[in-house]
Amino acid sequence: MALTVQKMLAEAEAAVPRITVDEAKALVGRADVVFLDVREPAEVAASGKVPGAVAIPRGLVEFRVDPASPAHDKNFDQSKTVVAYCASGGRSALVLKTLKDMGYDKVRNLGTFKSWAEAGGEIEKV
């Protein structure tokens, strides 16, 4: 049977813990945590991001988190907890499942940037 988007999302959401905005707020600024915004650049520019978050569109994440890649981003190493979010929670779940497959054991899905903003989370304008 072919893999569908719904099946991929269900598998990703089952594999990656979802956290609340309050839990995420407690992690902002910690040296052992990296926030990952996987929205497109125009989305981030329009609304801002979680303070200190690294903004990498979903299609480039694997290249930026792999230490063997020439495009590796030094913010990422497998000892850190990665907290990702996007607009709907789907892209972040898929990315985090991929990171788990790549050896990142400490991954958490914040879900949506909108939930962060609506709960009074601080916003860094870009």
pLDDT of residue 1: 74
Burial degree of 22 (CB within 10 A; 0-12, 13-18, 19+): exposed
Task: State the virtual CA torsion across 11, 17, 18, 22 in degrees, nearest 10.
Answer: -170
pLDDT tens-digit series, residues 13-62: 999 999 999 999 999 999 999 999 999 999 999 999 999 999 999 999 99
* φ/ψ (deg, to 5) at 115: -65, -35
Fold of 17-118: Oxidized Rhodanese; domain 1 (3.40.250)
pLDDT of residue 45: 98
User: For the residues 71-91, what does the mean pLDDT come to?
Assistant: 97
Closest CA to 79 of 67, 91, 90: 67
Mean pLDDT of the chain: 97
User: For the residues 91-99, what does the mean pLDDT come to?
Assistant: 98
Query: pTM here?
Result: 0.95
Tokens of 35: 């926030």
**Phi-psi sector, 89: left (phi>0), alpha (psi -120 to 50), beta:** left
Residues of the chain with pLDDT > 70: what percent? 100
